[in-house]
Amino acid sequence: MFPIQSVWFIRTSLIYLLVGSLLGALLMIQKAFGWNPEIWKFLPLHFTILIWGFLIPFIMGNAYWMFPKFLSEFPRGSSWQAWMMFCSYHLGLSLYLITKFFFPFDSLALLGKFLIFFGLVTFIKLTWERVISYNS
The alpha carbon of residue 3 and the mean position of all alpha carbons in its chain are separated, in whole angstroms, by 17
| 12 or 128, greater pLDDT | 12
pLDDT in tens, 92-118: 999 999 998 888 888 899 999 999 999
pLDDT in tens, 48-94: 999 999 999 999 999 888 877 665 666 677 788 999 999 999 999 99
CATH code of 29's domain? 1.20.120
Q: Answer whether residue 41 shows pLDDT above 70.
A: yes
pTM: 0.86
What per-residue string of b and e applies to 21-38 under the rule 16 or more CB within 10 Å gives b?
eebbeebeebeeeeeeee
Count the domains in the chain.
1
Q: Answer whether residue 133 shows pLDDT above 80.
A: no
Banded pLDDT at 11 (limits 50, 70, 90): very high
- Which 3 state secondary structure label does DSSP give 69? coil
Q: What share of the chain is helix, strand, coil (3-state, %, to 5)?
A: 80, 0, 20
* Of residues 87, 18, 29, the one with CA closest to residue 54: 18
In degrees, to the nearest 5, what angle opens at C-alpha 2 toward C-alphas 77 and 90?
Answer: 70
Virtual CA dihedral for 119, 55, 6, 67, nearest 10 degrees?
-90
Residues spanned by the domain of 118: 4-132
